[in-house]
Structure 1
Amino acid sequence: MSTSVKGMIDQYILAWNQKSLGNYAAGFSKCWAKNGQYADPYGTYDGLDAIVNFASKSGEIVPERVFSILEEPEFHNHYGRYAWKVALPDGQNTGYDYFEFDENFRITKLVSFFKLPDDYPIEKLQ
């Protein structure tokens, strides 16, 4: 479990970089509230199991992807934002996340802003 906002977001990014369903589950369970909600331009996912399965499917589509923090989190009270990037086989993508967290430094809501390449097979995430 994280004891700071930075640690929570570092763990969240680390969880996205896993390579198996079990490792995704272990990674997200350290920073994600059981009933946490994830939303991006392409869908909404409720709960720990949903974010684990979503990340796993994403990793199956682009297994070479590596996420990292582009701008450290800014936060106050239980709200924050940060910027990230993902290295891809043919370049990189960037995005911004707004997040909310509880007193145990677990993400309760995260809204991600980014655009996927036109040829990304979004239907495989559904």
Structure 2
Amino acid sequence: MKVIDRYIESWNETEPAQRRLLIDEVWAEDGRYTDPLAVVEGRDAIAALIGAVQGQFPGLRFSLGPVDAHHDIARFTWALGAPGAEPLVVGFDVAVFAEDGRIARVHGFLDKVPA
């Protein structure tokens, strides 16, 4: 699913201006991201969150697992780690889409986190 591919791409984009273009492409203006560690609303806050995660885990990359979608929702797994290495973080997200196909909400769950 292209929008989810681009969503993961935005988490991997380290250049802030390019990352913001991806965020604007895939997120609704009032998009809301929620996981056990963060709740943010709006594209600016989402961009800041992604930048903070990249600062916390420099050099690591997100990879996308299977995507299952129907109607206006999708669920997918992802992993964060060094390419070719055991993932440091593993999660499961549910995305809800706005009428225009952009992401309105992401509900994130963390299945594996560093000790």
Q: TM-score, normalised by structure 2?
A: 0.89
Percent identity over the alignment? 29
Equivalent position of 2:56 in the other structure: 61
CA offsets 1:3-55 (integer angstroms, 9 cap, x no match): xxx01000000000011222221111110111000000012000111110000
Q: Specify every segment of 5 or more residues in structure 2 that has no aligned partner in the other structure, as ranges.
A: none
Q: Does 1:107 align with 2:92?
A: no
Query: How far is 1:112 from its partner?
Result: 0.8
2-side partners of 1:17 and 1:77: how far apart? 27
Q: More deviation in 47-56 or 109-118?
A: 109-118
2-side partners of 1:49 and 1:107: how far apart? 14
1-side partners of 2:75 and 2:20: how far apart? 23
CA offsets 1:71-110 (integer angstroms, 9 cap, x no match): 1x21221112011111248731211001100232210000
Q: TM-score, normalised by structure 1?
A: 0.81
2-side partners of 1:105 and 1:67: how far apart? 22
Runs of 4 or more consecutive aligned structure 1 residues displaced over 4 Å after TM superposition? none
2-side partners of 1:8 and 1:105: how far apart? 8
Q: Specify every segment of 5 or more residues in structure 1 that has no aligned partner in the other structure, as ranges.
A: 1-5, 119-126
Equivalent position of 1:117 in the other structure: 114
> RMSD in angstroms over aligned alpha carbons?
1.6
Q: Number of aligned pairs?
A: 112
Asked if the contact 2:90–2:113 (Cα under 8 Å) also holds between the matched residues in 1, the reply is no
